[in-house]
Structure 1
Amino acid sequence: MEGSWLAKFNVYEIAPYAVGQPELTISLEALKGIAEPR
């Protein structure tokens, strides 16, 4: 997704297998002042 940061976690890392592969998407706007693009 353009304009966002995507983190994918391994199955069982943060949720049961039935959930599938968990993903966390954070908009770059929310990261402003915390992280800078390269």
Structure 2
Amino acid sequence: MKKLLLVVLAALGGYFVYRQVQADRAEQDLWTEATDAVPVGAR
């Protein structure tokens, strides 16, 4: 029973780490888009 609990806790921990990484990546993409230089011909 303890092994099952440890597996479940490890899976939940992995899931939350994955979600945090995805959120950080989305925020970085947003900052990159907001701070990209505008090409000269696009004005």
Scaled by the length of structure 2, the TM-score of the pair is 0.21
Greater gyration radius:
2
The structure carrying a bigger strand percent of its residues is 1
Q: Which has the higher contact order (CA 8 A, sep 6+)?
A: 1
